[in-house]
Amino acid sequence: MIETAGIWGHAIAAMLFAAIAIWQLADRERRSGKAILGIAFLLTAVWAALAAVYGPGSVMASLGETVRNLGFLTFMFVLLRQGLGEDRRPFVGLIYVALFAVALMQMLANGMLSLLPDSAALQAFASQSTVILDLCFTIGALLLVHALYSAATPETRWGIRLTMIAIAAMWVYDLNLYTFAWLTGRPAIELLALRGALMIGLVPTFLLAARRNTDSKLKLSRKVTFRSLSLIAIAGYFLAMFLATRIIDMVAGNSAVLVQVALVFLFSAGAIVLLPSQRVRGWLRVKVAKHLFEHRYDYRAEWIRFNHTLARPGTGSDPLDARVVQALGEITEAQGGLLLAAQDDNRLRPGARWNWDGLDSAAPTADGALGRWLAASGHIVELDPLRRGDHGDPDEIATLVPRWMIDEPDAWALAPLIHRDRLAGAVLLKRPKVDRTLDWEDLDLLRIAGRQAASYLAEARSQDALAEARRFDEFNRRFAFILHDIKNLVSQLSLVARNAERHADNPEFRADMVATLQDSVGKMNDLLARLAPKDRARSEAPRAVGLRKMAERIAAQKGQAHPVRIVGGPECEAMADPVRLETALIHMVQNAIDASPADTPIWLVVGGDETEAWIAVEDNGAGMDPEFVREKLFEPFHSSKTGGFGIGAFEARSLVAEMGGRIEVDSRKGEGTRFTITLPAAAACETDREIA
């Protein structure tokens, strides 16, 4: 039953594929892809006919199957070579030549089965070898189908999708068939017979595929290519080991085991030594890229890796300068590199390095003439021609390159980093493991990547300069505050000096003077400490501060020079830093004193409610107009007083804001001013806001 089904299935498949072949070959368009596919259909019809006449498992059917496989393999090769340049086609052909060689070995093995004498051992060896060759061919062919489909551009996959699906289905069935035969040690008669039915089922798919355009533009995928070549190489490796061991088993006699062990040891040792070698892998990558691809580089992958290296967050051990060297070095597979940072006079000073510990760390700074020449020309300097005396064009480069670069044998090339026609630096690349000469692709890519890296360096330098300017701005701001505070201390000490002339003999005055001097010295030390970055004198975390007690302390300090009065009920506490709050209040009290007549008192008003506490400074002085309060009062270097610095109100508001508070101003020209500092209350205050 199975045998009859196999014969009729293959016979029907032969007629159907013959009809498709005639229809395909009769197409007037005469495209090469369609013609080769038509021939493959015709060879498939021949194979199916042989299987129907001689039996699916016969030697003639096996020979016909091999010819059929060669037809479809040729179609795939023609399809693939359409997407390659003339100089890449020979190397691509080598991949297919390997499978063609396996197919030829299949034909020889099938021929041996019919010519060998009736020796069970020889017949078993030939049969097993045939199955192994069939497996190797099927695996390699499926890998090439995957590679071919992956290589197609997205817009052209539509044209080959059905063809690739049908071919893959045919060879996947063969893979299962030969795997079963290899594992069981006998032909899979049932699977062989059912192949005719499979081919009949594939006819509609091939028919639809034949109506589509198979002359598609292909673009090789590097990842797929390298993986496919690796798998094919592995399959070839195991095939060679299998055939070698079987041949040894036949001819070596009693020494077969020893020879086989030695052979396996040599194969394994060779794999262990060669495969991990970076030099060998680099040589293979160079050769494959040179002969298989139109361009040396996968520009999309290189650009993604380049920008990822530059843009990743830097650390102390991985600064941007070192990442710039790494990014350029990885493009050309250089083993390391050195960044030469450009100075203001275009001198190139050695800086960060990557994977080049053997380079002299005391390498001298390159002369400014080299930097100016690199900035003007943008030329990438190869050092090997200079060592050979082949200066090329231009000749003056030989006199500009420092001697230490020429004497360093691993120094390979010097790539300038140019940003907006200015030299940001240059990268000296270390020689790669697989030494080669830079070609036009290397030079173009290094030139473009160098400009991109230069923009990163320029941005980083700008950020550093901006941060330095901000530090100076912060220092100047602190110094302005300190200068204003010194003015207040000078006023206080001047008052002490005037009173000392009249009350120097008074013990109480002397004690008060000593206390005042000690307080002034402490405040001066605080002022000096405030010049340090990110520090304020004796600043503390907000805590409960009694506003009335602080008002009394300030009134005692300033009351000697001007009358100061306190208004308010019980103590009211606010959440504040006492040092900052006292500094802000002293600014306001001093401003009120400066704006008031000599005998007119200043009022300190303390109050609050359940959520907020406040302290106000009131005077009956000159006052300010609304426009000045609105636009200039809290701006630095604007003052309504003659000789004023215009810093006190600005600093006071900054200090209060840092504590989470605010300052409110109510002023009328000719009537006076009230400044109110409002802060979060530490506890509910029972006083109201009216002046007593």
* Most confident segment among 66-80, 305-319, 462-476: 66-80
More confident residue, 19 or 642: 19
In this prediction, residue 222 has a pLDDT band, given cuts at 50, 70 and 90, of low
More confident residue, 273 or 560: 560
Tell me the C-alpha distance between 322 and 311, whole Å.
12
Tokens of 622: 């000159």
Tokens of 28: 């007037």
pLDDT of residue 605: 92
Q: Per residue in 324-354, pLDDT tens?
A: 998 888 888 888 899 988 887 888 888 888 8
Residue type, 31: R
Q: Is the pLDDT of residue 676 over 90?
A: yes
Q: Per residue in 372-427, pLDDT tens?
A: 888 888 888 888 888 877 655 556 677 788 888 888 888 889 999 998 888 889 99
Tokens of 478: 């602190």
pLDDT of residue 276: 54
* Residues sharing a CB contact under 8 Å with residue 516, sequence separation 6 or more, in sequence order: 492, 493, 496, 557
The residues facing 413 across adjacent strands are: 382, 429
Tell me the C-alpha distance between 338 and 111, whole Å.
64
Angle at the Cα of 127 from the Cα atoms of 121 and 133, rounded to 5 degrees: 135
pLDDT of residue 206: 85
For residue 339, what is the enclosing H or E element?
strand 337-342
Q: Per residue in 457-500, pLDDT tens?
A: 888 888 888 877 887 777 677 676 677 677 767 777 777 787 77
Q: Is the pLDDT of residue 616 over 90?
A: yes
* Most confident segment among 5-19, 120-134, 500-514, 629-643: 5-19
Q: pTM to 2 decimals?
A: 0.46
pLDDT of residue 462: 86
> Across the chain, what does the average pLDDT equal?
77
Residue type, 278: Q
Tell me the C-alpha distance between 689 and 681, whole Å.
14
Alpha helices in 116-188 (DSSP H): 120-151, 157-184
Residue of 444, 411, 417, 190 whose CA lies nearest to 323: 417
By the 10 Å C-beta count (0-12 exposed, 13-18 middle, 19+ buried), 337 is classed as buried
